[in-house]
C-alpha cells in the first residue's frame, strides 16, 4: 500500500512539473487550469496524509506555510561580480581593445549578446538535481538566503529536467517583474492608498525580501537564467560541461530553465553594434524592462585566460542604453484629490515625445518633492518615465528660469471643497479630511463600481460627476435609491440606459461580503486582504466586534491593516454607511462561493489571448481583466497555442509573429464585440 501511494505521489508530481514547465517556461500549455488544480489538490491531500513522503521538489512546496522570521547572510561559493559598464559602441570597442592587449593571439573573438534584464541578480544551487538554496547578489561576496521566496517563481524549476543530474550545479540569472504585473500591483496599491513602486526593478527587489512567501507568490515574478556553473569537483551526470556561453544557455534551457530567446552569437563588433542598435527601440515592445545589452566572450577557455579585475570580469561588459530623459516647460501645476483625500500635485507640460509616447503631464509626488526640486511655474524641467511607465519630473534646470516666475506652493485648502488641508507629521502626503468632499465621494463611487469590487457596469466618471454635482448621490449607499426617472433628468440619459444602470446597481446587491468590504475603500485593504478577512470574520458585525489584536492575528494581516480596519468600523459616519447598505440589501455576511460560475461555463474558457500595442480606451490591465473575467487566459508571448492577438496602435514584433503563425487579430472593438457575443 505504501509503495502504491509513493508511486501515485511521484506520478502526480511529474505530471504537474511537466505542465508547469510547459506553461511558465515554454508558454505552450497543454493542460487546462482546472485539471492542474484538481491534480494539485489530489497531491496535496496525499502529502497531508503521508507527510513522510513530502520532498523539497514537490510542487506543493512552492509557497511556504509560514513567514520567515529573517533572512540569513550566506557566502557565495563563487563571487557574484557586477559588470563594467559601457555607454555606446565606441566605449565597447575601447573595452574590446583592452582585453585584446591581454590576449593578442586571439584577435576578434565571438561573443554572445544578451538583453540586460532590469531586475535582481540571483544565485541558485542544486544538489543531485534538487533546488536547495537561493541567494540574492548582496555585495557579491555574501548574499541573503531567500530560497522559500524563490520557490514561488514558477519559471525556476524545483528539480532539474534530467534523469542523471550533476551532483552540484549553480545557476545564475535575473528575477524580474513583468510590466503587466507591475501595473497590476501599482493599481492595487493605489486603490489601497499605499505608496506606489517607482519602477519594476525596485518592486522586484522589495518583493524578494518579503518575509511572507505568499505575498511573493501573489506578485508573480519571473526569471531568466544566464549562467551555468558545474564545479570541477562535481559529478556531471548525463551532462558534459559546456565549452561556450552559447552552449551553456542551450544546456540551461534543456535543464528546464527559461532562457531569454532574444540573444545572438556575434562574430564581430559590428554585429554586436547591430544587435545593440536594433534593441534600442525594439525593447519598448517587450513585456519587461531591459536597460542594455550584456556581451560575454563566448569561449570559456578565453574567459578563464582573461580572468577578473578586483571588481569585474574582463570577459564581459554591460552595454547600457542612456536613460531616456527630455527637457520641457512647466506651464502650470494642478492638484488632484483622490478618494482617500490624498492631494497629488501634477505638472502640466508642453507636450514632448518620451519612450514612444506623448507626455503632457508628470507627477510631482508630494509637497516634499516640490520643495526638494524648488519648482517654479515656467521652469524648464527634465522629465523621464519612472521604470519607463510613469512620467515624473527628475530635476529643474534653474539656469533657464525666467526672471519673473514664482515658486509653486501647495494649496492650504482643498481645491474641490474649500476645506483646510492637513499634512500629518509622519506622512509625506497632504490630505483633505472632509468625507463629504466631492472628489472623495466621486473616488469612492468609482472604486465601489470597479470590476473587482461591486462590478457595476455603466457607472463611469462622466455619470458619477453629474450625480455628485447635482446632489443625487452623496455616498455609495445613495446609489441604491436612484430611480430611472431621476437618471432620465440627466443630460444625454435615455430610458434604456437609465434602466440598464438601475438594474446593474440592483444586481450588485448579490455580490459577496468580501467584495463589499473591498468596495468600502478602507485604507490598505485590497482584494486579497478583503477575502482573508471575510474568511475569518464571516459578517460585518463579527468584524466590528473583533479586537484589534484579533484582526492582526489573522494570517496575512499586519498591524497597519488591522489598525485601519478597526478604526474605520468605529467611526460613527462609516458605521452609519454600513447600516444604510444593510438596509439596501447588500451582502454583509456569508461566503462568495455560491456566486462564482464554474470555469467551464465562462464564455472565453479555453481561449488564449495576447495583447500588444496601445488600445484606444482600455489599458492592458483592463483588457486583461475583461478577458479573464470571461474565462480567457492572457499570456505575454505569441505561440501556436494563441487563440487571438488583441492589437492596438504601435503593435510591434508580436503582431509580426502572429501574422506568420496565422493567429486571428482583434481590435479593441472586436474584443468588445466578442465578449458581448459570448455573453
Q: With respect to CATH, is domain 438-509 assigned 1.10.150.20?
A: yes
Strands 222-229 vs 168-176: parallel, antiparallel or unpaired: antiparallel
The two beta strands, 608-612 and 633-635, are parallel
Across residues 112-138, what is the average pLDDT?
93
Question: Which superfamily does CATH assign the domain made up of 513-584 to?
Answer: 5' to 3' exonuclease, C-terminal subdomain (1.10.150.20)
Residue 266 annotated as binding site: no
| pLDDT class of 573 with cuts at 50, 70, 90 | confident
Report how far apart the first and last C-alpha atoms of the chain are (Å, whole number): 49
Q: What is the mean pLDDT of residues 449-457?
A: 89
C-alpha cell at 275: 544587435
Annotated ligand binding at 679? The verdict is: no
pLDDT band at 41 (very low <50, low <70, confident <90, very high): confident
116 among known catalytic residues: yes
Domains 327-409 and 608-675 share a fold: no
Q: Are 144 and 122 in contact (CB under 8 A)?
A: no
Full 3-state SS string of 208-269: HCCCCHHHHHHCCCEEEEEEEECCCCCCCCCCCCCCEHHHHHHHHHHCCCCCCCCEEEECCH
Q: Where does the pLDDT of residue 359 fall: very low under 50, low under 70, confident under 90, or very high at 90 and above? A: confident
Any residues with CB less than 8 A from the CB of 605 and at least 6 apart, and which? 599, 631, 632
Q: What is the pLDDT of residue 633?
A: 81
Q: 82: how many CB neighbours lie within 10 A of its CB?
A: 14
Q: Is 291 annotated as a binding residue?
A: no
User: H helices then E strands: how many in the chain?
Assistant: 24, 22
Task: State the architecture of 84-320 in CATH terms.
Answer: 2-Layer Sandwich (3.30)
CA angle 155-157-161, nearest 5°? 120
Report how far residue 281's alpha carbon sits from residue 578's, in angstroms, rounded to the nearest whole number.
52
Ordered by start, the domain boundaries in the chain are 1-53, 84-320, 327-409, 438-509, 513-584, 608-675
Q: What angle do CA 403, 409, 410 make, to 5 degrees?
A: 155
Given a cut of 90, is residue 520 above it in pLDDT? Answer: yes
Residue 446 in grid coordinates? 468609482
- We find that the CATH architecture of domain 608-675 is 3-Layer(aba) Sandwich (3.40)
Residue 137 is assigned to a ligand binding site? yes
Nearest-angstrom CA–CA distance, 460 and 483? 17
The answer to whether the annotation marks 653 as part of a ligand binding site is no
Task: Using the predicted structure, report yes or no on whether residue 583 has a pLDDT greater than 90.
Answer: yes
Distance CA 73, CA 37 (A): 36
Say if residue 484 is exposed, middle or buried (CB neighbours under 10 Å; 0-12, 13-18, 19+): middle
Dist. CA 507–CA 487, nearest whole Å: 17
DSSP 61: G
CATH: 3.30.910.20, 1.10.287.610, 3.40.50.2000, 3.40.50.720. Which one for 1-53? 1.10.287.610
Write the class of the CATH domain 327-409. mainly beta
What pLDDT score was predicted for residue 624?
Answer: 78
- Region of poorest pLDDT, from 61-70, 422-431, 625-634: 61-70
Cell numbers 478577458 correspond to what residue? 627
Does residue 236 have a pLDDT over 60? yes
pTM greater than the 0.75 cutoff: no
**Which residue from 660, 603, 657 is spatially nearest to 635, judged by alpha carbons?**
657
- Over residues 132-143, the pLDDT tens digits come to 999 998 878 888
How far, in Å, CA of 100 to CA of 314, rounded? Answer: 10
pLDDT in tens, 182-210: 888 888 887 776 767 767 887 888 888 88
**Pick from 235-239, 297-301, 411-415: least confident:** 235-239
Q: Which of 116, 151, 258, 624 is catalytic?
A: 116
Residue 130 has pLDDT above 90, yes or no: yes
Nearest to 298 by CA among 250, 255, 259: 250
Summary mean pLDDT of the chain: 85
Is 34 annotated as belonging to a binding site? yes
416 assigned ligand-binding residue:
no
State residue 1's pLDDT score.
53
State mean pLDDT over 553-568: 81
Amino acid at each position: 500500500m505504501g509503495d502504491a501511494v509513493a508511486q501515485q505521489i511521484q506520478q502526480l508530481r511529474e505530471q504537474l512539473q511537466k505542465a508547469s514547465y510547459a506553461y511558465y517556461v515554454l508558454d505552450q500549455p497543454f493542460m487546462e487550469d482546472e485539471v492542474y488544480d484538481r491534480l494539485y489538490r489530489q497531491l496535496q491531500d496525499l502529502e497531508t496524509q503521508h507527510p513522510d513522503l513530502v520532498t523539497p521538489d514537490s510542487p506543493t512546496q512552492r509557497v511556504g506555510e509560514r513567514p520567515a522570521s529573517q533572512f540569513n547572510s550566506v557566502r557565495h561559493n563563487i563571487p557574484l561580480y557586477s559588470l563594467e559598464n559601457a555607454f555606446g559602441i565606441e566605449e565597447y570597442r575601447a573595452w574590446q581593445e583592452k582585453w585584446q592587449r591581454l590576449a593578442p593571439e586571439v584577435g576578434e573573438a565571438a561573443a554572445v549578446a544578451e538583453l540586460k534584464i532590469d531586475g535582481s541578480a540571483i544565485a541558485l544551487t542544486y544538489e543531485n538535481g534538487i533546488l536547495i538554496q537561493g541567494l540574492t547578489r548582496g555585495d557579491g561576496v555574501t548574499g541573503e538566503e531567500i530560497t522559500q521566496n524563490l520557490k514561488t517563481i514558477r519559471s525556476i524549476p524545483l528539480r532539474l529536467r534530467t534523469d542523471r543530474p550533476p551532483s552540484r550545479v549553480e545557476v545564475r540569472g535575473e528575477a524580474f517583474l513583468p510590466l503587466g504585473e507591475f501595473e497590476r500591483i501599482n493599481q492595487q496599491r493605489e486603490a489601497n492608498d499605499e505608496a506606489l513602486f517607482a519602477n519594476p526593478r525596485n518592486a522586484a527587489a522589495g518583493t524578494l525580501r518579503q518575509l511572507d512567501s505568499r505575498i511573493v507568490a501573489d506578485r508573480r515574478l519571473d526569471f531568466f537564467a544566464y549562467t551555468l556553473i558545474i564545479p570541477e569537483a562535481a559529478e556531471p551526470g548525463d551532462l558534459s560541461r559546456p565549452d561556450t556561453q552559447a552552449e551553456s544557455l542551450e544546456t540551461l534551457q534543456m535543464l528546464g530553465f527559461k532562457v531569454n530567446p532574444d540573444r545572438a552569437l556575434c562574430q564581430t563588433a559590428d554585429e554586436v553594434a547591430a544587435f545593440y542598435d536594433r534593441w534600442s527601440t525594439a525593447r519598448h515592445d517587450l513585456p519587461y524592462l531591459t536597460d542594455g545589452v550584456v556581451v560575454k566572450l563566448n569561449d570559456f577557455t578565453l574567459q578563464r585566460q582573461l580572468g577578473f579585475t578586483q571588481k569585474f570580469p574582463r570577459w564581459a561588459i554591460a552595454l547600457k542604453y542612456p536613460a531616456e530623459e527630455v527637457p520641457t516647460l512647466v506651464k502650470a501645476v494642478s492638484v488632484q484629490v483622490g478618494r482617500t483625500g490624498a492631494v497629488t500635485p501634477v505638472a502640466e507640460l508642453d507636450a514632448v515625445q518620451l519612450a514612444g509616447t506623448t507626455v503632457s503631464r508628470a507627477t510631482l509626488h508630494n509637497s516634499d518633492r516640490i520643495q526638494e526640486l524648488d519648482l517654479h511655474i515656467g521652469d524648464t524641467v527634465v522629465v523621464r518615465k519612472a521604470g519607463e511607465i510613469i512620467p515624473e519630473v527628475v530635476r529643474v534646470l534653474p539656469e533657464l528660469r525666467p526672471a519673473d516666475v514664482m515658486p509653486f506652493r501647495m494649496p492650504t485648502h482643498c481645491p474641490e471643497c474649500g476645506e483646510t488641508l492637513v499634512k500629518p507629521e509622519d506622512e509625506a502626503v497632504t490630505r483633505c479630511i472632509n468625507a463629504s468632499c466631492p472628489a472623495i465621494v466621486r473616488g469612492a463611487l468609482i472604486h465601489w463600481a470597479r470590476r473587482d469590487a461591486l462590478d457595476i457596469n455603466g457607472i463611469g466618471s462622466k455619470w458619477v460627476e453629474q450625480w455628485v454635482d447635482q446632489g443625487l448621490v452623496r455616498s455609495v449607499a445613495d446609489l441604491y435609491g436612484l430611480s430611472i426617472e431621476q437618471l432620465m433628468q440627466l443630460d444625454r440619459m435615455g430610458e434604456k440606459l437609465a434602466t440598464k444602470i438601475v438594474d446593474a446597481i440592483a444586481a450588485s446587491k448579490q455580490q459577496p461580503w468580501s467584495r463589499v468590504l473591498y468596495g468600502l475603500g478602507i485604507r490598505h485593504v485590497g482584494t486579497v486582504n478583503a477575502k482573508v478577512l471575510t474568511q475569518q470574520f464571516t459578517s460585518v458585525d463579527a468584524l466590528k466586534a473583533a479586537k484589534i489584536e484579533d484582526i492582526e492575528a489573522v494570517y496575512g494581516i499586519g498591524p497597519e491593516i488591522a489598525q485601519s480596519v478597526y478604526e474605520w468600523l468605529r467611526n460613527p459616519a462609516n458605521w452609519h454607511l454600513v447600516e444604510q447598505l444593510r438596509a439596501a440589501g447588500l451582502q454583509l455576511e456569508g461566503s462568495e462561493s455560491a456566486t462564482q460560475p464554474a470555469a467551464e461555463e465562462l464564455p472565453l474558457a479555453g481561449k488564449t489571448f495576447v495583447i500588444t500595442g496601445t488600445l484606444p480606451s482600455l489599458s492592458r490591465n483592463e483588457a486583461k481583466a475583461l478577458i479573464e473575467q470571461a474565462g480567457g487566459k492572457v499570456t505575454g508571448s505569441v505561440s501556436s497555442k494563441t487563440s487571438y492577438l488583441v492589437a492596438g496602435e504601435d503593435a510591434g514584433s508580436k503582431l509580426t509573429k502572429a501574422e506568420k503563425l496565422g493567429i486571428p487579430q482583434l481590435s479593441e472593438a472586436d474584443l468588445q464585440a466578442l465578449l458581448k457575443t459570448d455573453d
